């Protein structure tokens, strides 16, 4: 697992889930989102208010300095395709995948040629994608979400650029907000 801000990786297996759901598992802790957990989470909805968790797609959006900062959005206006003058438009977005909101698959990071659950990266990773632990193994995520206001808990309007959020911060903020973290909570 990797430590502070993607620092040194360690082979400490105390938090490993390898084999927990069998040798063929490619979903990891998403296995905690059982049908029972999903039904329980759905029963917690009180107001129906929604919150966007996405980052706006902007040319200068958040991204690491070594990532390509230039991307284009090109709109093609097609010729009319039917009566009465029906037309369409398409967009092309060229961007680094870490330039916006996304979810990393279990094949995203590996250590010493080992992907999650012991699959060899050299056998299952290529320039066209992953044959093991890919995001295609996550057809849905439904569960109870917990939003922890770390900046508010620290008494600041926002965190400083590069400021790390530690497990201790998460635990203390959850306790201060009266939130109990349970299996199957996102």
**From first to last of its 186 residues, what are the pLDDT tens digits of the chain?**
444 444 555 667 778 899 999 999 999 999 998 999 899 888 888 888 887 777 777 777 677 777 766 666 666 565 555 656 666 777 777 777 777 777 889 999 899 999 999 999 999 999 988 999 998 888 788 888 888 999 999 999 999 988 999 999 999 999 999 998 887 766
Q: How many domains does the chain have?
A: 1
In a domain, 70, yes or no: yes
Q: Is 6 left (phi over 0), alpha (psi -120 to 50) or beta?
A: left
Instruction: Find the length of the chain.
Output: 186
In a domain, 93, yes or no: yes
Containing domain of residue 92, as a range? Answer: 62-99
Q: C-alpha angle 157/55/69, rounded to 5°?
A: 105
Residue 125, classed as helix, strand or coil, is strand
In a domain, 94, yes or no: yes
In a domain, 73, yes or no: yes
- 156 and 132 Cβ atoms separated by less than 8 Å: no
**pLDDT at site 52:** 79
In a domain, 186, yes or no: no
**CB-hemisphere CA count at 13 Å for 13?**
7
In a domain, 78, yes or no: yes
How many Cβ atoms are within 10 Å of 25's Cβ, its own excluded?
18
């Amino acid at each position: 697992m990797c430590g502070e801000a993607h620092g040194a990786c360690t082979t400490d297996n105390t938090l490993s889930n390898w084999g927990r759901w069998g040798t063929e598992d490619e979903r990891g802790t998403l296995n905690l989102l059982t049908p029972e957990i999903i039904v329980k989470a759905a029963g917690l909805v009180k107001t129906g208010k929604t919150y966007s968790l996405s980052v706006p797609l902007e040319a200068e959006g958040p991204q690491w300095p070594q990532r390509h900062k230039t991307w284009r959005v090109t709109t093609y206006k097609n010729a009319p395709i039917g009566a009465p003058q029906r037309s369409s438009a398409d967009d092309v977005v060229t961007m680094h995948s870490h330039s916006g909101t996304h979810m990393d698959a279990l094949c995203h990071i590996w250590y010493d040629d080992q992907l999650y659950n012991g699959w060899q990266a050299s056998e299952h990773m290529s320039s066209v994608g992953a044959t093991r632990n890919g995001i295609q193994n996550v057809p849905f995520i439904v569960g109870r979400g917990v939003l922890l206001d770390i900046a508010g808990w620290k008494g600041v309007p926002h965190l400083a650029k590069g400021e790390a959020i530690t497990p201790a911060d998460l635990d203390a903020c959850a306790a201060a907000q009266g939130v109990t973290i349970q299996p199957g909570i996102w």
